[in-house]
Structure 1
Amino acid sequence: MKILTANIFWVYLGLLLGVSFIATPIKFKAPSLMLPVALDVGRVTFHYFHKIEWCFVLMALFGAIWTKQPLVIGLSILLVVILLVDGLYFLPKLDQRIDLIMQGEVLTKSWLHKGYVVLEISKVVLCIVSGVYMQGRM
């Protein structure tokens, strides 16, 4: 079960990197993709990915509890908290901004995107620390 739990963190890490730090930023480099469309695609992507993240985080938490790893239980609970903040605060607020942009409004800069990115980076760090720790316990 320890190796399974470690692998859950590694697969989740790969998904995080692929979605949040590769595929999403690259789409904004496509000159034919207008900003409102790119933002709408991003919105759909992140809402769908958020559901997938819950599956991985809950599996990881279950694995940490099953294998009695207090540190990883704590780190997994931090991931749960981050997902709650993402889903209950950041995604709805960012959605509101996307709606306004799609209606043609020009918005001033906001800290919301940077805050969301900080949480994404935090998830990456938590996955790495948890995966390494679980591998060291085998």
Structure 2
Amino acid sequence: MSSAQAVVTAILFVWLGMVLAISFLEAPLKFRAPQVTLPIGLGIGRMVFRALNTVEVVFAVVTVVAMLFTSFRGVSVAVVIAVLMLAGQLLFVRPGLTRRSNAVLAGEDAPRSNAHYAYIALEVIKTLALLIGGILALIDAVV
């Protein structure tokens, strides 16, 4: 296994773990905790997702650069899908979610947003792409 292959494989699995832990565990659970109001949950969520998305962008850039130095076959398709889903979340979905959370945090009575469903759909696709990419990278690196 080359250094670039090891980097790609490691990043895909760490990225997958972060998305699973934050998006599918932390995010829904925080609103069930006692004393956590909607504004508090949104404030925490904004900070957590800003940090997650920042790390994801770094992971995406490092992965794409490392892929230039590997001979992975099917992994590149999975990486492209994951990166496109992340870009979709950041460029098209997050701005609407940010506007709503800004309104709620400012004390306005903002209507519920359907943008969460789009974010979750992209997150599920990204998660599957990371899982498949990681598995293919592991198989490809060993073979």
Q: TM-score, normalised by structure 1?
A: 0.89
What is the aligned counterpart of 1:92 among 68, 73, 95? 95
> Where do 1:1-138 residues align within 5 Å?
1=2, 2-137=5-140, 138=142
**Aligned residues of 1:9 and 1:127 also touching (Cα < 8 A):** yes
Cα distance in 1, alignment partners of residues 61 and 82 from structure 2: 9
Percent identical among aligned pairs is 27
Q: Which moved more, 1:79-88 or 1:94-103?
A: 79-88
Residues 22-47 of structure 1: CA distance to partner in whole angstroms, max 9, x if unpaired?
12211111121111111111012111
**Aligned residues of 1:64 and 1:70 also touching (Cα < 8 A):** no
**Aligned residues of 2:82 and 2:127 also touching (Cα < 8 A):** no
The residue identity in structure 2 corresponding to 1:114 is Y
Moved over 6 A (4+): none
Cα distance in 1, alignment partners of residues 41 and 88 from structure 2: 23
- Aligned-residue offset at 1:70: 4.0
Q: How many residues align?
A: 138
Residues 40-62 of structure 1: CA distance to partner in whole angstroms, max 9, x if unpaired?
11012111211100111222222
